[in-house]
Amino acid sequence: MSRVTAVISAYKCDKWLEGRITNLLEQDEHPKVIAVAQEESREQPILEKYPDVLKIYTLETPTVYRAWNIGIKAARTEYITSANADDRLYPGALKKMADVLDKEKTYGMVYTDIDVVTEIDGPVRTAFKWMEGGLAELIKGCFLGPMPMWRRKLHDRFGYFDEAYKSAGDYDYWMRLANGGVKFYHVRDWTAGAYLSHQASVEKREPLLSLWEANNIRMKYREAANAQIRG
């Protein structure tokens, strides 16, 4: 039985979805894949090709964070990872991250630096080299990247993603974890996968909203972060 559930918010992503599912199912750590999609969408016939994928259909198009919450609540594995349809993991990435969490019991989440591409399976154009730290560092920017893995039991203590956000709900949740003392493990010697940079992504499609949400989150946690710095 796998240690990992990969949750896909499968909305408006039909051109990437099949490749993403294949990418997940080819991992050494064969994950439980949960895809949350809208009924009678272009994604539904693609998902129906995969009997091993748990499919949860909705009547409406929810925010990505509502979709993640639906998938996480259905998960039964020890670890969770978010699986954006347009990203790709490198071979062995899920096993390596799960092994880190198995070994590093005091950490709640593991993340790596990430390559950036402008086409699926295309050449690496640049890379995200992330910071390390906790709440004080997160105030400066969201450094956990698009492919972290975390312990499912964190949701028992800290709840789920705030579904009111459209693009920064993960940033808000990582702040919540850090404020609660959760530690993040940064892997420095290998990279989990490749992030597809394109104009249709949520953060680029509505850049002003993304900026507003991120600033709102920083304001919410700034006092707590300053207290940690002083203390």
The pTM of this model reads 0.93
* Backbone angles phi and psi of 214, in degrees to 5: -60, -45
Residue 222: per-residue pLDDT: 84
Residue 226: per-residue pLDDT: 72
Residue 80: per-residue pLDDT: 98
Structural domain span for residue 130: 4-230
* CATH number assigned to the domain comprising residue 86: 3.90.550.10
Residue 202: per-residue pLDDT: 59
Residue 93: per-residue pLDDT: 98
pLDDT, mean of each 10-residue run, the chain (231 residues)? 95 95 97 96 96 96 93 98 97 98 98 95 92 92 95 98 94 96 96 86 67 90 73 57
Cα separation values, 21 from 3, 34, 104, 126, 218, Å: 17, 10, 28, 25, 34
Contact between residue 34 and residue 71 where contact means Cβ atoms under 8 Å apart: yes
Name the residue among 74, 103, 63, 78 with its Cα closest to residue 154.
78
How many domains is the chain built from? 1
